[in-house]
Amino acid sequence: MRYGDLLKNYIDLYHRHYIVSAENLGPMYYVMDDVGNNFFDVGIAEQGMLGIAAGLAIRKKVPVVHAMSAFLMMRAFEFIRTDAGFGNLAVKMVGTSSGILSAWNGATHQSIEDISLAMSIPNLNIFCPSDNGEMIEGLEKILLDDKPWYIRYNDCVPSIEHSRFDVIGKGEIIGNNSEIAIVTYGYMLNIVNKAADYLKNQYGIDVDIVNLRTIRPLDEEMLIDVANNHSHVICVEDHLTYGGAFTVISDFFARNNISSRMSSVAFRDYFCSGQYR
């Protein structure tokens, strides 16, 4: 199922959802005409969009708002924090071109601090689907959830066969109890899968792949297993090292006296090049 079709179905079924865009129609342009007044575009105005979304949610509606991740999480940050987060409203914030999916636009349009920003907001949950199927499976539940959510939009085709995403807060481990676990989320699952194949074919090294799916809630039970059953945990993310999954998982391990050899593959203290791909 395509993303736009899911939104349209939910509007038809529940009469509670709005599609709101800050001139970011890519994910659902093909259903605009079918959903009538349940869709509106506010123009290039992310703050206004978030305020409006809060107003809709105060009325017990579910606005699903769209903007490029960089402008959603950074331009509108205080509206997300104070209105959606502190207000604990059912606003669903869909960021497109997150990570470095917008690499050629340069650092102005890249979004490698969005998870960190979202994690700093209490109440705000974070969903990073690894492909279109997982995004649809997750959103089927998230669109009916009363909490605010930040969603890293990702409609790529699956690169790996993985389990159905049935329970919010549950990640998955793909592999056969190898010594090394690579923890990742979102679009990077695709890249990590290629890396895993490379390691296997070139060096004969097996790795398990851990797909987090949601960063908040964090699948703590799964991560305890990951720590207990692997000699090395590598966190790979299209994000700054600080404030992303590596930080979140290290923090969880430290607070619970779980020891693990961890390393991070991420961006550290630099803006990414526009040539990075």
Partner 1 sequence: MNIDYNALEKTAFNARKKCLSLLDRGCFLGSAFSCTEIITYLYSNFLNINKNNIDDSNRDYFLLSKGHAAIMQYAIMNELRINDCELERDYLKYGTNLYFHPNVNIPGVDFYTGSLGHASSIGLGIALDIKFDNEQGKVVVLTGDGELNEGSNWETLLIANAKKVDNLLIIVDRNQFQANAETEKLSVMDPLKEKFESFGCSVKEIDGHDFGQIADTLNTFPFEKGKVSVIIANTVRGKSVKSIENDWEKWYFDSTEEEIAEYNEELLDYYKRKNVL
- Contacts to partner 1 by CB under 8 A: 37-38, 40, 42-43, 45, 47-48, 50-61, 63, 78-79, 82-83, 86-87
Cβ of residue 189: shortest distance to partner 1, in angstroms? 35
Judge whether 182 and 209 are in contact, CB under 8 Å: yes
Residue (of 194, 190, 245, 242) closest to 223 by Cα position = 245
Cβ of residue 87: shortest distance to partner 1, in angstroms? 6
Measured from the CB atom, the residue of 82 and 250 that comes closer to partner 1 is 82
Cβ of residue 275: shortest distance to partner 1, in angstroms? 34
Alpha-carbon radius of gyration of the chain: 18
Measured from the CB atom, the residue of 63 and 244 that comes closer to partner 1 is 63
Cβ of residue 70: shortest distance to partner 1, in angstroms? 18
Measured from the CB atom, the residue of 74 and 168 that comes closer to partner 1 is 74
Strands 180-184, 125-127: parallel, antiparallel or unpaired by DSSP? Answer: unpaired
The three-state DSSP-derived secondary structure of 42-84 is CCCCHHHHHHHHHHHHHCCCEEEEEEEHHHHHHHCHHHHHHHH
Cβ of residue 92: shortest distance to partner 1, in angstroms? 14
CB-based contacts of 65, cutoff 8 Å, min separation 6: 20, 21, 22, 49, 50, 53, 72, 91, 92, 93, 94
Q: What is the C-alpha separation between 174 and 134, in angstroms, rounded?
A: 15
Measured from the CB atom, the residue of 83 and 238 that comes closer to partner 1 is 83
| Tokens representing residue 132 in the block | 């279109």
Q: What is the C-alpha separation between 93 and 159, in angstroms, rounded?
A: 25
Measured from the CB atom, the residue of 87 and 158 that comes closer to partner 1 is 87
| Tokens representing residue 173 in the block | 């481990």
Which whole-number Å values give the CA distances from 127 to 1, 21, 66, 187, 197, in the listed order? 18, 19, 14, 12, 26
Measured from the CB atom, the residue of 40 and 252 that comes closer to partner 1 is 40
Measured from the CB atom, the residue of 61 and 152 that comes closer to partner 1 is 61
CA 48 to chain centre: 23
Cβ of residue 46: shortest distance to partner 1, in angstroms? 9
Report which DSSP code applies to 38. G
Cβ of residue 141: shortest distance to partner 1, in angstroms? 24
